[in-house]
Structure 1
Amino acid sequence: MVHSREPSSYQELTVIRRPTLLAAAALTAAVLTLSACGGGGDGDSAKDSDKIAGADTGGEKSKSPSPKASEDGVDRPEVTLPKDVDNVFEGGKTGDSKKDTVLADNERWLDSLIEAVTVDAEDHPGLKFYTSGDALLSSAQYIQGFQKNNKSFVGTIRYYDRQVTFLKEGVAAVSYCKDGTKTYPKDLKTGKVDRSIEGSASDYAFVNTRVKKNDKGVWQTDSVTSTTASKKCTP
């Protein structure tokens, strides 16, 4: 999911570039790490970190956390990004209330994922709240890739050309383009940010996710696939 700003794929986690959301086979250790992040889990194997650690932001947090959306009756965990990290979602309302609800939870999922990478906290309850299935595994591996390399990032990720397609009752596909050219790697040991890296085609990705509505009425991201340097998304 992430790149020498993030990993360009889960198979290439040794190189941290910009954040690129990708699907991949996940490791048991990664699942345990994510379970620790969400508070819970299987607890029967690999001794990984007890938390999902991101950048130690050490400063004022963003003043626009993901909304609790009390208007839909769902008690949602607060998700707050650091002041030097921003997710920008283009497109606004579609005019279809059902699609808008799906897109809103997709945004909250992406915010919760990036929070888990960039905010140093013992728990990130939003991540498990908005993630299920294979996406839970790939999210864990994405985050673990940053941890193992003592990396995080700062900057802005842009999401555009967002589309919702309903597949069957309670299941939909959400696709979008992602632009990570305005993000920069942060070394967690030194706190330094490398802004010398120039954007490239590999920092654009076409992402396709499957989302499923759970019994709380939340559209959880269940699986993720991504194509970097997609002609559909590259200017």
Structure 2
Amino acid sequence: MTRLLTIAVATTTAALLLTGCGGGDSGSKGNDKIAGAGTEKSASASPTASAAAGRPKISFPSDASNVFEDQKTGDAAKDAVLADNALGVNSIDEAIFEGKTNTKALGFYNTGRALSSAITYVQGYLDKSDTWAGTTRFFDHRVTLSGRNGAYVTYCSDESKSFLKDRKTGKAQHTPTTADSYVLYHAKLAKNADGVWQTTDVVSNRGDKACQP
């Protein structure tokens, strides 16, 4: 699938850009996809949020899912970063599914430039009455910690099995797989006072060679 938009924020750091997919510490929409109104929702989107107080529950329609690979590194701090990064990705897709940009999860897991970019991204789908269906795979996660409260994550997405879908008609666009079905993401995260790793900045590159099969 080729999505309508790619999450991108103007600024990042040199350390973030020097990290790439394809190896290193193992650990997803960025999200250029879209999902359907009127579909039955599953109990929650994978991965499951931890039991920390105040964490919002994230739900997906039954015909859409995100699959995150490389989520266990053996390092508790890195695993926590990866878990919240994945939930941040899911929160953006949930906003698309819900058809609104003010969902609780979106502002819970994203802040600063990342939140502004996510709102613009979601609104782009809503303006076109689009959503998505299928499965998006996130892989080749690499985590770099920066002090106690900072982290960078790079990862790839495979959108070859997820498709744009018209929100009104429910018709999916089963487009062929191309190089643009794969996206490289660089995310910057910061741990807030409640211990949540929020995404603060994201840069993506659709069709990046580092993510091609």
TM-score between both structures, scaled by the size of structure 2: 0.82
Count of aligned positions: 190
After superposition, the Cα gap between the structure-2 partners of 1:64 and 1:144, relative to the gap in structure 1 and judged at 3 Å, is closer
Q: How far does residue 151 in structure 1 lie from its aligned partner after superposition?
A: 0.9
Instruction: Tell me the amino acid that sits aligned with residue 204 of structure 1.
Output: Y
Deviation per CA, 1:125-158: give whole Å up to 9, x if none: 0110000110011101110110111111111111
Distance (Å, rounded) in 2 between the aligned partners of 1:213 and 1:122:
23
RMSD between superposed Cα atoms in Å: 2.0
- Could you tell me whether the CA contact under 8 Å between 1:179 and 1:204 is conserved in 2? yes
After superposition, the Cα gap between the structure-2 partners of 1:146 and 1:171, relative to the gap in structure 1 and judged at 3 Å, is same
Does structure 1 residue 221 correspond to structure 2 residue 199? yes
- Could you tell me whether the CA contact under 8 Å between 1:152 and 1:185 is conserved in 2? yes
Gaps of 5+ in 2: 12-33
Gaps of 5+ in 1: 10-20, 26-53
Distance (Å, rounded) in 1 between the aligned partners of 2:63 and 2:48:
19
Give runs of aligned pairs for residues 115-194 of structure 1, distance below 5 A: 115-120=94-99, 124-194=103-173
Instruction: Tell me the amino acid that sits aligned with residue 48 of structure 2.
Output: P
Does structure 1 residue 97 correspond to structure 2 residue 83? no
Which of 77, 93, 97 aligns to 1:114? It is 93
Distance (Å, rounded) in 2 between the aligned partners of 1:229 and 1:5:
10
- Could you tell me whether the CA contact under 8 Å between 2:125 and 2:131 is conserved in 1? yes
Distance (Å, rounded) in 1 between the aligned partners of 2:138 and 2:185:
10
Give runs of aligned pairs for residues 28-43 of structure 1, distance below 5 A: none
SS in 2 for 1:232: helix
Correspondence for 1:30 = none
Distance (Å, rounded) in 1 between the aligned partners of 2:62 and 2:167:
16
Does structure 1 residue 209 correspond to structure 2 residue 206? no
After superposition, the Cα gap between the structure-2 partners of 1:56 and 1:186, relative to the gap in structure 1 and judged at 3 Å, is closer
Distance (Å, rounded) in 2 between the aligned partners of 1:234 and 1:227:
12
Comparing 214-223 with 89-98, greater Cα deviation is found at 89-98
Distance (Å, rounded) in 2 between the aligned partners of 1:122 and 1:56:
16
Q: How far does residue 123 in structure 1 lie from its aligned partner after superposition?
A: 5.1
Distance (Å, rounded) in 1 between the aligned partners of 2:159 and 2:207:
11
Distance (Å, rounded) in 2 between the aligned partners of 1:59 and 1:150:
15
Q: How far does residue 63 in structure 1 lie from its aligned partner after superposition?
A: 3.1
Q: How far does residue 6 in structure 1 lie from its aligned partner after superposition?
A: 1.6
Instruction: Tell me the amino acid that sits aligned with residue 94 of structure 2.
Output: E
TM-score between both structures, scaled by the size of structure 1: 0.75
Aligned residues with identical type, % of pairs: 37
SS in 2 for 1:198: coil
After superposition, the Cα gap between the structure-2 partners of 1:185 and 1:149, relative to the gap in structure 1 and judged at 3 Å, is same
- Could you tell me whether the CA contact under 8 Å between 1:82 and 1:119 is conserved in 2? no
Which of 44, 54, 57 aligns to 1:78? It is 57
Distance (Å, rounded) in 2 between the aligned partners of 1:202 and 1:217:
35
SS in 1 for 2:210: coil
Q: How far does residue 183 in structure 1 lie from its aligned partner after superposition?
A: 1.2
Q: Larger Rg: 1 or 2?
A: 1
Asked which structure has the greater RCO (Cα within 8 Å, sep 6+), the reply is: 2
Deviation per CA, 1:196-221: give whole Å up to 9, x if none: x1011011111000000111100000
